[in-house]
Amino acid sequence: MHNDSERCLRAVRSKDARFDGWFFTAVVTTKIYCRPSCPVVPPKAENMRFYPSAAAAQQAGFRACKRCRPDASPGSPAWNVHADLVARAMRLIADGVVDREGVPGLASRLGYSTRQVERQLLAEIGAGPLALARAQRAQTARLLIETSALPMAEVALAAGFASVRTFNDTVREVFALSPTELRARAGEVKSPVGTAGALTLRLPFRAPLAPDELFEQLTATAVPGVEEWRDGAYRRTLRLPHGPAIAELRALPGHVSCHLTLTDLRDLSIAISRCRFLLDLDADPVAVDDLLGHDPVLAPLVAKVPGRRVPRTVDGPEFAVRAAAGSSSARLVAACGDPVVDPGGGLTHLFPSPDRLHEADLPVSPRRAAAIRSVAGALVSGALDLSVGGDRSRARAVLGGLTGIGGTTVETIAMRALGDPDAFAVDTRVRQAARELGLPTSGEALEQRTGQWRPWRAYAAQHLAGR
């Protein structure tokens, strides 16, 4: 969108928050970049430049606006919709792959050379993988500076910086303030970080959002010990690179409150990314509702619950195993899950890893055991990649050849584990709703009828299932 100057100008002049994250506005006279919805008086058109990412604006020499905080805007919905190299790379960078494995690790996961990945990102995003990862580290640092009482040296380490000097230089360059000045500007710290690495932050989203329906679905399929609904919040355990964590998510006016208890603060950025992915917070609900609302069958459902999201997962491999295990998931957790300590509730385990399940004596029926081992074996061998950057077409093909995995399960995994917004799982509830509304329920007729809902068929399925 950043290449369409007229459209960008209209969005900036109307201060339209729907476009936050789609593009960023930089002002050549002040060297500051903003969200489209920034409350300041828009500059002259000839002084504006538009960039597809905060990293691109930073790389061009602009610093973040202190009023609208463009670095904290929701992510671009394009990376959820598209399945090409750039979209997969953006999802993996958000998941912390560059910080953990470097650019060669990112390229290896994508199946391309380092040069090809860098060239594609520069062409479409205006910044390479290192610049994108740097921008993410800067935002993580800002969160810790403003919401915790951690010493700055610990903030630098937790945010992923190699040295305190690099941390100081980056914060000054991106925010035009030193780390100490940023903390002083934020005022009193309300969420001190203790030894358990606990902190609370806000997750922004594009309105509207239907939180009740979203959390209801997550709770309805919750695995005891791994997930729970407690005191108006959805809570679950997370398996992260540096140790287990617990996330507590609660919908509040204008944002989702996210309370994280981390083993290691270096996992903060990846925990935030996975919670956002779980709740589908980077979606563009206006675009989704507008397209689906033009269908006379779906229009009443969209009008009844605007802003529906697709509930996803924090761990693709975990969800695939759960899909294979069905109602046996709780027994798998009790027998093979890794114990965790939850001072604030009833969470007891991490969901078992594929490595453990592949060889374990499973407390389930032989049919279920065969399906679980088939999925776990494909994940362990690397034949099946269900990371956020996984190739959706390849994953579908591999899943379709596994024991006990039918077409509906393949689409459900594509929808919730891979985040494919066009996946269409025809389960019992969707089929019943389709029948009652006079829609075809299978075959070529169904495929043709749902074609007009692309690329948002997963959202259409949510409306039908929740009818």
Q: Give the CATH number, domain containing residue 391.
A: 1.10.340.30
Whether this prediction's pTM lies above 0.75 is answered by: yes
What CATH number is given to the structural domain containing 53?
3.40.10.10
Classify residue 437: in a domain, yes or no: no
Classify residue 39: in a domain, yes or no: yes
As for how many domains the chain has, the answer is: 4
Per-residue confidence (pLDDT) for residue 195, from 0 to 100: 46
Count the neighbouring beta carbons within 10 Å of the beta carbon of residue 180. 12
Q: Are residues 371 and 397 in the same domain?
A: yes
Q: Are residues 140 and 164 in the same domain?
A: yes
What is the radius of gyration, based on Cα positions, of the chain?
Answer: 22
Each residue of 413-444: pLDDT tens digit?
Answer: 999 999 999 999 999 999 999 999 999 888 88
Helices 129-147 and 164-175: crossing angle in degrees, nearest 10, is: 90
Q: Are residues 21 and 100 in the same domain?
A: no
Q: Are residues 335 and 388 in the same domain?
A: yes
Q: Which domain holds residue 94?
A: 79-147+150-186
Q: Are residues 176 and 197 in the same domain?
A: no
Q: Which of 92, 96, 88, 38 is nearest to 62 (CA)?
A: 38
Q: What are phi and psi for residue 460, nearest 5 degrees?
A: -60, -40
CA-to-CA distance for 136 and 260, rounded, in angstroms?
A: 18
Classify residue 96: in a domain, yes or no: yes
Q: What is the dihedral of CA 144, 149, 153, 159, to 10 degrees?
A: -10
* 321: Cα separation from own chain's centroid: 20
CA-to-CA distance for 244 and 267, rounded, in angstroms?
A: 9
Classify residue 466: in a domain, yes or no: no
Q: Are residues 210 and 177 in the same domain?
A: no
- Among the candidates 123, 158, 186, a domain finishes at 186
What CATH number is given to the structural domain containing 158?
1.10.10.60
- Among the candidates 72, 97, 117, a domain finishes at 72
What CATH number is given to the structural domain containing 219?
3.30.310.20
Residues annotated as catalytic are: 34, 427
Q: Are residues 90 and 67 in the same domain?
A: no
Q: Are residues 325 and 404 in the same domain?
A: yes
Q: Are residues 83 and 175 in the same domain?
A: yes
Classify residue 120: in a domain, yes or no: yes
Q: Are residues 139 and 222 in the same domain?
A: no
Burial class (CB in 10 A: 0-12, 13-18, 19+), 62: buried
- Among the candidates 398, 416, 434, a domain finishes at 416
Each residue of 373-418: pLDDT tens digit?
Answer: 999 999 999 999 999 889 999 999 999 999 999 999 999 999 999 9
Classify residue 294: in a domain, yes or no: no
CA-to-CA distance for 390 and 83, rounded, in angstroms?
A: 9
Classify residue 465: in a domain, yes or no: no
Per-residue confidence (pLDDT) for residue 105, from 0 to 100: 96
C-beta separation of 459 from 312 below 8 A: no
Classify residue 444: in a domain, yes or no: no
Parts of the chain with a pLDDT under 70: 1, 79, 188-196
Q: Are residues 67 and 85 in the same domain?
A: no
